[in-house]
Amino acid sequence: MKKSIQKHVFLDHAATTPVHPDVLETMMPFFGSHYGNPSSFYGLGRKAHQAIEKARGKVAALIGAEPGEIIFTSGGTEADNLAIQGIAFANVHRGRHIITSAIEHPAVLNVCSHLKQRGFSVTQLPVDSYGNVNAADVKEAIRNDTILITIMHANNEIGSLQPIKEIGTIAKECGIIFHTDAVQSIGKIPVNVRELKVDLMSISSHKIYGPKGIGALWVKSGTRIAPLLYGGRQEMNLRPGTENVPAIVGFGKASEISMAMLNDDITSHLHHLRDRLEQSIAERIPSARINGHPQKRIAHISSISFKSLESLSIIANLDVHGIYASGGAACTTGKIESSHVLAAMNIPPETASGTVRFSLGFENTEQDVDHAIDILTKTVNRLHAFYQQTPNETGMITFHEVEHAAEAEQILQDAHFPFALIATPHHIKQVYCCHVALEHHFVDKDRILRLLGKNGVEFAGTYTNGSSLMDNSPNPA
Ligand code: PLP
């Protein structure tokens, strides 16, 4: 038996976006006939150089900057590293104090931790219960030896928008360099470096329908900054190495497309879909908690906590139905780490651990959102019902493929067995199986295995709760 999985609904645009077909088309010649090194003097090299400069102009236009202020990097992470370390080391004679916030991306938080070990001092500002930094706190934290403020524009987990313009004004008054990580905001809302009063801005291509592995740091001209790497003279002496020409060209095209989308008011489309998603979840799952401020939040990110449930299990259920969303926290190879953002907002751990992040893109439709809500509602109801009536002893069945879990779900649902699809516990995944498992009442084990066997559903192994020992029994006839 094969259950056909419906069309995928991708609701994880804060993690990455599909490469736009026009971006791919623009990149292709640079993998083929346009293979020159941009530093070469002859025609082939000049063509590559011109393509890079054209892309630089488009990236600059997206954020209201001058092309000569754009430094291409390998992505948002490198841009954050270059900004923070580059400013710290170039300005160490002025002081060693850096101000940041508790909800930054690890690409900022971990660089600050590294600098702390190298003798810098870092003030990490708190956020309110909506995940917003208070600009007055920034002012209060400024010291005589403060050389850098680094605060993100839109948070990647909950979408909270920070008062960048206000902080920028404070930074200007005090003569302090101000960096913002705008990886999540560009292409979703209008972003202008001059209006925001920043000195450096990190951006990344793969969040705006461009290729992965390319990003940029905007550095206001005249800003004193040191490189991270030493080598050739590329990228205004700030980022040596032969340029990744196809990726830069793709980033340029993606920026141009993003500009056109902003002109077509993509922000309203994202807002509309997000409001539909949140209103519908609030109506159908009243126990759900929507995180973040109703207004001070980016249009495309919705973080929702489902109390007493595990976010990985919710995500696994959505995955079985072709709906792709993320844990509210950093999700590394199937393990959810507790979220420093939700913790900073004082969300209790038992609520935070059931948090799912939905993030929308231009290609999403109302139908996508409605379909996702239907599946989500069924998932949450089933998980709650199963855990409410479950006896102490449960069993678990693992599968090699998600499709097999989907088949089992359909069969057990039709046969009215109590069960829940869950994320395969980490210790079990050491044995080859997929990330979706099925939990059932232990007393039903034999009947369930017989039923699955009769329907030809393959499974990887069976477990009793609390036991890590696998009974790798073949399917019963
Ligand atoms: N900053 C923020 C806010 C992000 O969301 C991300 C990626 O998720 C990054 C930085 C890192 O960007 P990249 O994946 O291009 O290294």
Reported as a pLDDT band with limits 50, 70 and 90, residue 6 is low
Q: How far apart are CA 409 and CA 336, in angstroms?
A: 24
Instruction: Using alpha carbons, list the distances in angstroms from residue 218 to 69, 209, 226, 450.
Output: 6, 19, 14, 62
Question: Whose CA is closest to atom 12 on ligand 1?
Answer: 76
Percentage above 90 pLDDT, the chain: 89
Question: Whose CA is closest to atom 13 on ligand 1?
Answer: 76
In angstroms, what is the span from residue 400 Cα to ligand 1's centroid?
32
Q: How far apart are CA 262 and CA 420, in angstroms?
A: 42
Q: Print burial letters for 256-293: b (CB count within 10 Å at least 16), e (below 16).
A: bbbbebbeeebbebbbebbeebbebbeeebeebbbbbe
366 within 8 A of 276, measured Cβ to Cβ: yes
Q: How far apart are CA 368 and CA 425, in angstroms?
A: 29
Q: How far apart are CA 131 and CA 133, in angstroms?
A: 7
In angstroms, what is the span from residue 341 Cα to ligand 1's centroid?
15
The SS3 assignment for 124 reads strand
In angstroms, what is the span from residue 30 Cα to ligand 1's centroid?
25
Residue 330 pLDDT > 90: no
**Can you tell me which atom of ligand 1 is nearest the CA of 204?**
15
CB within 6 Å of ligand 1 — which residues?
75-77, 80, 105, 107, 152, 156, 181, 183-184, 204, 206, 215
**Can you tell me which atom of ligand 1 is nearest the CA of 16?**
8
Reported as a pLDDT band with limits 50, 70 and 90, residue 427 is confident
Reported as a pLDDT band with limits 50, 70 and 90, residue 382 is very high
Nearest to 219 by CA among 329, 70, 345, 319: 70
Residue 472 pLDDT > 70: no
Angle at the Cα of 119 (from 114 to 125), degrees rounded to 5?
65
Give pLDDT tens digits for 94-146. 999 999 999 999 999 999 999 999 999 999 999 999 999 999 999 999 999 99
Collect all residues with Cβ–Cβ distance below 8 Å to 302 and sequence separation of at least 6: 159, 274, 277, 278, 290, 357, 358, 359, 360
Given ligand 1 and candidates 12, 112, 207, 341, which is best to mutate, with the most ligand atoms within 8 Å of its CB? 207
Given ligand 1 and candidates 77, 103, 206, which is best to mutate, with the most ligand atoms within 8 Å of its CB? 77
Give pLDDT tens digits for 435-467. 999 999 999 999 999 999 999 999 999 998 644
In angstroms, what is the span from residue 185 Cα to ligand 1's centroid?
11
Tell me what pLDDT residue 390 has: 67
**Can you tell me which atom of ligand 1 is nearest the CA of 80?**
10
Question: Whose CA is closest to atom 9 on ligand 1?
Answer: 76
In angstroms, what is the span from residue 475 Cα to ligand 1's centroid?
44
Residue with tokens 């996702």: 372
Nearest to 65 by CA among 187, 204, 219, 210: 219
Instruction: Using alpha carbons, list the distances in angstroms from residue 355 to 173, 297, 350, 456.
Output: 39, 17, 10, 35
Residue with tokens 């959810």: 336
Collect all residues with Cβ–Cβ distance below 8 Å to 13 and sequence separation of at least 6: 207, 300, 359, 360, 361
Given ligand 1 and candidates 156, 248, 300, 332, which is best to mutate, with the most ligand atoms within 8 Å of its CB? 156
**Can you tell me which atom of ligand 1 is nearest the CA of 77?**
16
Reported as a pLDDT band with limits 50, 70 and 90, residue 405 is very high
- Residue 353 is encoded by which pair of tokens? 């651990």
In angstroms, what is the span from residue 208 Cα to ligand 1's centroid?
12
Catalytic residues: 331
